[in-house]
A and B are shown apart, each in its own frame.
Chain A
């Protein structure tokens, strides 16, 4: 059951990224580029996505457990250096090309060579991230 819920959820996610135009890098870069020809679309996408999700969080409080799962996610943890450093690195890459992980995967069938090169580099980045993370931990611990 969990597998098919995953499939349904991924399908809705993919459909939403397609319909919203978020796989178009000019729209994403256009939103980030407040000093250029600013494109507000991304704000509508975020707003449109946050609303049903906020309702879902409220509903989850009234359920003992998820429909097909054991438990709901734990409360989110503390803000730490890794959160900030990671988000800054991610943001630099996001602005540079205009792709984040969701749209990079969703657009792979029509993103051409550029999309494929980005996706492969991203997967390599994710593969080596645990090493970078433990390096950061050691660096922080040594301070």
Chain B
């Protein structure tokens, strides 16, 4: 892991600054699942341009960095069934819970929101058990 934690800290600070800009600028919580979900299910009609431009920045900056700095490997599995199942679970789950790692995790915990803290505890526990089950018991991933 050598110096990965420094990149983690710097990257985290950038993520938190993005959230701070969104809160103090627009009065909104920077939650990826909420911003994407509002576009997909039509519930975000009132501020669609803001959502689409948010997502454009989120895609364009990593695209530029991947050409200029380095092209990272996501090491994502090639198991199509795992990808489809996980994608559906993440999509449905984050929308039912009304938040994901950014909304409940970063933005919720930082305001000591009980919902944010409880959600984070449950998705981390479920994630940990998921790894134990699929990796260590079944040996699929």
Contact = CB atoms under 8 A, between A and B. Distances in A.
Interface string B62-99: 11011000011111111010111111111111111110
B93 A13 contact: no
Contact of A51 (B7, B13, B24, B85): B13
Nearest to A28: B127
B139 interface: no
A68 B72 CA distance: 35
B56 A10 contact: yes
Interface residues of A, number: 117
A121 B90 CA distance: 9
Contacts of A130: 41, 43, 95
Contacts of A45: 8-9, 11-12, 15
30 contacts: A6-B49, A8-B57, A9-B19, A9-B21, A10-B53, A11-B60, A12-B15, A39-B1, A41-B4, A45-B15, A46-B12, A52-B16, A66-B27, A67-B26, A72-B23, A89-B89, A93-B90, A100-B90, A100-B101, A101-B90, A101-B100, A104-B87, A110-B66, A114-B76, A121-B85, A122-B90, A124-B87, A125-B93, A126-B33, A130-B41
Contacts of A47: 9, 12
Interface residues of B, number: 110
Contact of A108 (B59, B86, B94, B122): B59
Given A2-B25, A18-B72, A63-B24, A94 B130 contact: yes
A57 interface: yes
A45 B44 CA distance: 28
Nearest to A50: B110
Contacts of B7: 19-21, 41
A129 B60 CA distance: 27
Given A18-B62, A93-B85, A126-B41, A107 B5 contact: no
Contact of A101 (B22, B23, B36, B132): B36
Contacts of A88: 93, 122-123, 126
Nearest to B94: A90
B18 A112 contact: no
A89 B98 CA distance: 12
Interface string A96-120: 1111111011111111111101111
A91 B61 contact: no
Interface string A117-143: 111111111111110110010000000
A93 B88 contact: yes
A87 B27 contact: no
Contacts of B136: 35-36
